[in-house]
A and B are shown apart, each in its own frame.
Chain A
């Protein structure tokens, strides 16, 4: 079980990360803007997944499903862009 203190901290961290994404958007980073955006969103997703969705401490079958779930999008994006960028 996740303590309510962790839940509060996660919420605060997500709000801070949201402020950060929005602030960074005002700076023109060129192609790096996307990388920064996705990294910050990924960090928020990780926090929500681990704490709010209680994946932390869940080392059972669910965790296995979550990890495998990312395999398919990886294949989808990997193969599409391997084709698209080499045309």
Chain B
């Protein structure tokens, strides 16, 4: 497969991913429009610092991934290993946040009596938060599995083709991009209120 073909195929796939996430963002937009006040109040339950830290982690992982693409074999393993580690760290912090929300008793579908703590608009915000960040986390998990297989190939000196790395990179950056929109829409909404 030529580089051009690999990129074209991957972009077609990412294009379908964009459609997939658009549905989610549309849902968010309509409900935010309808429950603006509640969304701002519910956003106060977000752990802004953890979200900020996770954004820095993802941006750094994307940077390492981009550096890996055109570097020597040794450096590739180093950069990809770094990306993998940061991806794991991101997921760890994300699940720690879910744990904190569950402890607060406001994790949808898990916390009993959530309706006593939040009104219906605020509960919708939490539902959307878990749906959006959960779908994103799922994409991260798939990305990490693919990354682990590339690293294994490198480790056993069965180097993957350059276009395999290129496709991996495109996917990783796309998942990063989704987070860059999730972060302000969920975490920063209620900061000034």
Whether A26 contacts B59 in the complex (CB less than 8 A), given A41-B180, A66-B11, comes out as no
With an 8 A cutoff between CB atoms, is A4 at the interface? yes
**Secondary structure type dominating chain B contacts:** helix
Cα distance, A67 to B123, chains bound together (Å): 36
Residue on B nearest A30 in the bound complex, by CB: B192
Within 8 A of A (CB), among B1-60: 4, 7-8, 11-12, 14-15, 18-19, 22-23, 25-26, 29-30, 33, 48, 52, 55-56, 59-60
Interface size class, chain A: 35 or more
B160 within 8 A of A: no
A-B contact pairs, 29 of them (CB 8 A): A4-B70, A7-B63, A14-B59, A18-B55, A18-B56, A25-B184, A25-B188, A25-B191, A26-B191, A37-B188, A38-B184, A40-B184, A44-B177, A44-B180, A45-B177, A48-B180, A52-B63, A52-B66, A60-B4, A62-B4, A65-B11, A69-B14, A69-B15, A69-B19, A72-B18, A72-B19, A73-B26, A77-B22, A77-B26
**Bound: A38/B188 CA distance, A:** 12
Top-3 shortest CB links A-B: A25-B188, A69-B15, A73-B22
Cross-chain pair count, CB within 8 angstroms: 114
Q: Are B62 and A52 touching (Cβ within 8 A)?
A: yes
Q: Which residues of B contact A49 (CB under 8 A)?
A: 173, 177
Interface 0/1 of B77-100, CB less than 8 Å to A: 000000000000000000000000
Complex Cα gap A52–B66 (Å): 5
